[in-house]
Amino acid sequence: MYAKPIELSPAASLSVAARIMRLFSSLLFLLVCLAAAGAIHFWASLPNVANLADPQTSITISVRDWEGQEQPFSLGPQNPDWTPLEAFPEHLPWAVVVAEDGAFYKHHGIDLQALHEALIYDLQQQRMARGASTITQQLAKNLYLSREKTVLRKLREAVIAWRIENSLSKERILELYLNLVELGPMVHGITAGTRYHLDKPVTKLSSAESAFLAAILPGPRIAFNPRKRPERVAERAKKLLYFMQLRRVLEGPQYELATREVDIITGIAPRPVVQPAQHTPMNLLYEVGQRPPWQLPLATS
């Protein structure tokens, strides 16, 4: 037997619509509350970076050695290798800025253009293949975060970098970065890296040697390890010298001499024999064919 559909009165229809709207509003309110709680928790979990502004501050952080073990590292004047920014040769900070973050003095912790390019590249590769991290972001990661490549970690890195930029001067950020960067197995900081790779004081670095050290920074373990890939390091160091010349950090003759010196530093070309009485930017007192200090075999105990 055919049953006629029940027709709701206008009042009943309005009642159903009102209940649906109330349910939708309640769900929306709940989502807003959850988002707000998550944001508050996220912000509260971020480290306090204000203490980094004090030049007398030393902090102990955890760094990972080349065997994957966590090791303590002191960043600050308590570390005997700590070097104030003004003690570095002028071309050294510029070599690092050119190598790692050409827009360092223009951005506020995040390079939006580089980030946009990295996002496009990552989408094309369907993985997080390109970091686009500024010097400030790298400092934030090395001080407070793990090496995992996740969206949440990158978000924390960006927010911490923004907080660092709002609490510290550019000079202080660069000073901390130069004393923390990895240049070898448990070799952190430019001063320790200079001793490890070149066996000399950091104050005696030439422009070519500065470019050499800066060229190692993206991957001292494998990609730009000068013991394993000297040609690749030399090629990158020469590119850095070229950009340093464009920024007028180097003049033409200095650039040409430094470019030739890079091949000697990396062992691609033999070291010339120069008499002590001669004083040139390439006054390197080594016998022809002698290997650079970093190419000598490591001492075994």
With a cut of 70, say whether residue 282 has pLDDT above it.
Answer: no
Nearest-angstrom CA–CA distance, 110 and 106? 10
In 52-134, which ranges are continuous DSSP H helix? 91-100, 112-125
Given pLDDT bands bounded at 50, 70 and 90, which one contains residue 11? low
Given pLDDT bands bounded at 50, 70 and 90, which one contains residue 19? confident
Give the residue-averaged pLDDT of 8-27. 65
With a cut of 80, say whether residue 300 has pLDDT above it.
Answer: no
> For position 36, what pLDDT does the model report?
60
Q: Is 300 exposed, middle or buried (0-12, 13-18, 19+ CB in 10 A)?
A: exposed
CATH level 2 (architecture), domain 50-276? Orthogonal Bundle (1.10)
Number of alpha carbons in the 13 Å side-chain half-sphere of residue 267:
17
Query: Contact 76/59 with Cβ under 8 angstroms?
Result: yes
What DSSP state is assigned to residue 145?
Answer: -
With a cut of 90, say whether residue 124 has pLDDT above it.
Answer: no
> For position 2, what pLDDT does the model report?
56
* Residue that wins the pLDDT comparison between 9 and 223: 223
Tell me the angle at which helices 91-100 and 230-246 cross, rounded to the nearest 10 degrees.
110
> For position 296, what pLDDT does the model report?
43
Give the residue-averaged pLDDT of 18-24. 72
With a cut of 90, say whether residue 12 has pLDDT above it.
Answer: no
Interval 195-228: pLDDT, tens: 999 999 999 999 999 999 999 998 999 999 999 9
With a cut of 90, say whether residue 125 has pLDDT above it.
Answer: no
Give the residue-averaged pLDDT of 152-175. 93
Give the residue-averaged pLDDT of 232-245. 96
